[in-house]
């Protein structure tokens, strides 16, 4: 049955409009949430909205890896103990959090901010691929290699940790074509993940295994 | 599996804390919503939070029926065409919207703002029962009855439209005890099978009530 909407108040209707714009929240759930917020103390509601405004207004992105950060450089990129010659390329902030939770990875990241998806109008230029290429070029510069020698001569590596669906594979292939010229090692996650599995929903064991058993990218 | 939480940003963590305080929203969904909001244009996010703040700060409650309203008196209570001698007592704003959507009711409402629930620490004084009793007393005042005579002498009626569970029944009984002295007609919602309900799946209590309260068949 269609749910006719005769809101008793314009304010309520506008709040429901706003809340139902969130992904996965229908108008009925939005009404429930709006009425819940209405019952809360005023300062709690202000705290709620202020937390969201602060996030949107004040969040920064690490200038190296594009990760959400409170500073110009994120805690991972500024960690000297991590392997800065290994860059793990992921789609989103959530993927970084998921991989960090496995405790299996000690390199740095690069957050693309999305995935190449013609159907959604997302092309390579909408992602941080140019920045990634510049980072890879920097990794193989004479200075960087000299510094790495001092650390035991680690080889630069790019891990393509994207989803196993068509869009993920397309994006991996596109990035591979862009960075192959620099002679870095390019690997992708071991497919312990099922095809079509979403990275963020994988359990830590599977995801951790996928990182340890990453394989040379052969397009 | 526990989801370890190493937020890359304090701002993000605070937003997730706030969003996950909503009923039915876990921390994982909250993270998804926070990252969604982060991707939206800044003015959209401000519009979102402002709509919620406005609702909480500026909403009014009808001084007659306690319904959410943009004015001191809601659109239902200020509608002369409705039957002001019939008061339908409901738990919440949503119940008013549901009953209005049926198009079958032409009286006015009284929103209790909850239901008597000792287990949740909600007693009669937390609800708008005192206001309801005052309204009922007003309905049977000599002036009101004189006015009603002019309209065809309608009898005052209170419909207890509360849930059919123990708390709803308790609240109905409590209200009945409070208003019985005024000699108004007190009714409750018909309980029975829903439209399209399968007889074999109905619980015995409902089915039993449906048989006892059977109605003349009018095809």
Same domain, A52 and A79: no
Question: B67 with B111: CB under 8 angstroms?
Answer: yes
Same domain, B89 and B163: yes
* Residue in B1, B8, B68 nearest the CB of A69: B8
Average pLDDT over residues A70-85: 91
Same domain, A95 and A162: yes
The CATH number of the domain where A162 resides is what?
3.40.1360.10
Whether this prediction's pTM lies above 0.80 is answered by: no
Residue A68 belongs to a domain: no
Same domain, A117 and A204: yes
Residue B210 belongs to a domain: no
Spatial distance between the Cα atoms of A65 and A73, rounded to a whole number of angstroms: 8
Domains held by chain B: number: 2
* Cβ within 8 Å, pair A53-B67: no
Residue B214 belongs to a domain: no
Residue A208 belongs to a domain: yes
Domain boundaries, position B19: 10-58
Average pLDDT over residues A124-144: 87
Same domain, A157 and A191: yes
Question: Per residue in A84-103, pLDDT tens?
Answer: 999 999 999 999 998 998 88
Query: From the CA of A29, how many Å to the nearest CA of chain B?
Result: 10
- The whole-number pLDDT of residue A195 equals 59
Question: Per residue in B58-78, pLDDT tens?
Answer: 999 999 999 999 889 999 999
Residue A66 belongs to a domain: no
**What residues of chain B lie within 8 A of the CB of A46, using their CB?**
53, 56
Same domain, A99 and A162: yes
Question: B154 with B185: CB under 8 angstroms?
Answer: no
> Has residue B21 got a pLDDT over 80?
yes
Q: Which H helix or E strand runs over A56?
A: helix A42-58
- The whole-number pLDDT of residue B203 equals 80
Same domain, B49 and B148: no
Q: Is the dihedral of CA A98, A99, A103, A108 positive or negative?
A: negative
Cα distances from A170 to residues A194, B34, B98, B159, B185, in angstroms, run 17, 27, 49, 63, 72
The CATH number of the domain where A29 resides is what?
1.10.8.420
Residue A63 belongs to a domain: no
> Has residue A5 got a pLDDT over 90?
no
Residue A64 belongs to a domain: no
Same domain, B106 and B45: no
Interface test with B, best of A9, A62, A66, A109 (most B CBs within 10 A): A9
Question: Per residue in A156-195, pLDDT tens?
Answer: 899 999 987 888 989 999 999 999 888 889 998 776 666 5
Same domain, A113 and A20: no
**What residues of chain A lie within 8 A of the CB of B24, using their CB?**
29, 32
Same domain, B93 and B182: yes
Chain B, nearest residue to A46 by Cα: B53
Same domain, A122 and A81: yes
Same domain, A45 and A141: no
């Amino acid at each position: 049955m269609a749910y006719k909407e005769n809101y008793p108040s314009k304010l309520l209707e506008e709040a429901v409009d706003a809340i139902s714009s969130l992904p996965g929240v229908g108008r009925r759930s939005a009404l429930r949430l709006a009425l819940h917020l209405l019952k809360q103390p005023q300062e709690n509601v202000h705290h709620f909205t202020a937390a969201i405004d602060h996030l949107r207004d004040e969040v920064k992105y690490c200038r190296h890896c594009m990760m959400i950060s409170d500073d110009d450089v994120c805690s991972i990129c500024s960690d000297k103990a991590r392997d800065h010659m290994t860059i793990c390329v992921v789609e989103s902030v959530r993927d970084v959090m998921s991989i960090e939770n496995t405790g299996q990875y000690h390199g740095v990241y690069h957050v693309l901010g999305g995935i190449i998806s013609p159907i959604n109008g997302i092309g390579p230029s909408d992602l941080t691929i140019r920045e990634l290429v510049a980072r890879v070029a920097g990794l193989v510069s004479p200075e960087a290699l000299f510094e790495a020698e001092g650390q035991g001569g680690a080889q630069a590596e790019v891990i393509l940790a994207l989803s196993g669906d068509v869009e993920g594979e397309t994006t991996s292939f596109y990035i591979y074509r862009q960075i192959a010229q620099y002679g870095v090692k390019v690997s992708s996650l071991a497919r312990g993940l099922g095809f079509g599995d979403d990275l963020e929903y994988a359990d830590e064991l599977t995801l951790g295994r996928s990182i340890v058993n990453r394989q040379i990218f052969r397009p």
